[in-house]
Amino acid sequence: MAALFGTRVRKLRTAAGLTQAELGALVHVVGTRITQIERASGAKPTLELARALDAVLGADDLLVELWPYVYRETFPDWSRKFMAYSERAVSIAQYAAHVVPGLLQTEEYARAVLSVGLTLSSEAQLEERLSARMGRQERLASEDRPVLRVVLDEAVLKRPIGGRTVMHEQLARLLDAASERHITVQVLPFDQGEHDAMGGSLTILTLPDGSDVAYTEGAHYGQLIEDPDEVRAFALTYHQLRAAALPPLMSLDMIRSVMEDNHRGAKVPSRSERRRVAQEQLQQSGRRRLRGSGGRIPRRRPRP
């Protein structure tokens, strides 16, 4: 795909009567960078560069549309099909066992996460993967943005990936994200003990036709599950984790507590207290709907 992208750039550049140096100047990169792109020999183009090339060469979004296929090549084979499904999903439900999900990572946190792992082979590949991850986040602000529900294991909050400053900014990012209506963040505390997804992270994607796929991932492996019966079993596991997690407001309080470096003072509420608070939140939500009954309550997407 990188070679195809490069071929298209070369044809468009030639048609426009531009040299590689001239095109590089127009998109604010050196001419040798254009040479690398056309030959598919260097680091893959970033999304920003693809957009600039598309605009300068009048490609009518051709290069921008090709870019996702190019960047997937920087990831292991087992994750590419999952990313393709993710770009179409109308709902994304995730349980994260070890790190903040990629869609909610800050750039520095993502850099720290991506800089380790057996599949990383070079600094250039790290930059490609970082650019790809940041590019994927743009969908959360688009018109077709998915509903995102995230359950974070308490370990995700307590492991200072990238150092204290990077982690502080990452936790702040979680709080900001949770203020969006289409994003829900919950924390699964340590006191919940063992559960079916302890071995790694779990994602359930709901596609536009109402079907679901599941994806499990560890440090150096991933598995996409498409069989309906197996997907239902994984979906049940996710719903159990979500039910066991702290309610959203309590989860945000816990994130704030960790942000303030109060790990030892962060009190995890008892199960009975969680049920009480969850019930109060449901009642408050109901009262808000009644007060605003003049508006239309959104309907849930029908499921087969």
* CATH code of residue 222: 3.30.870
203, part of any domain: yes
Tell me, yes or no, whether 248 and 270 share the same domain: yes
Average pLDDT estimate for 202-211: 94
For residue 300, name the pLDDT band (cuts at 50, 70, 90): very low
Distance CA 207, CA 228 (A): 13
Q: Is 117 left (phi over 0), alpha (psi -120 to 50) or beta?
A: left
Structural domains counted in the chain: 2
Shared domain for 62 and 159, answered yes or no, is no
Which residue in 157, 185, 156, 188 sits closest to 258, CA to CA? 157
Statement to judge: residues 223 and 137 lie in one domain: yes
The CATH number of the domain where 26 resides is what?
1.10.260.40
Give the chain's mean pLDDT.
Answer: 83
What are the pLDDT digits (tens) for 92-122? 999 999 999 999 999 999 999 988 876 666 7
Would you say residue 302 lies in a domain? no
Distance separating alpha carbons of residues 190 and 284, to the nearest angstrom? 28
13 and 147 in a single domain? The answer is no
Could you tell me if 254 and 246 are in contact, meaning their C-beta atoms sit under 8 angstroms apart? Answer: yes
**201 shares its domain with 53:** no
Q: Picking from 98-112, 142-156, 254-268, 284-298, which range would have the lowest pLDDT averaged per residue?
A: 284-298
Taking alpha carbons only, the member of 170, 168, 197 closest to residue 94 is: 197
Q: What is the domain extent for residue 51? A: 2-72
Same domain, yes or no, for 165 and 23?
A: no
CA distance 268 to 65: 46
Q: Which three-class secondary structure state does DSSP give residue 187?
A: strand
CA distance 34 to 10: 9
Same domain, 153 and 249: yes
301 within a domain of the structure (yes/no) = no
Query: Can you give the pLDDT at residue 189?
Result: 93
Domain-embedded: residue 53: yes
- Looking at the fold, whether 110 and 239 belong to one and the same domain comes out as yes
Rounded CA-CA distance 152/145 in Å is 21
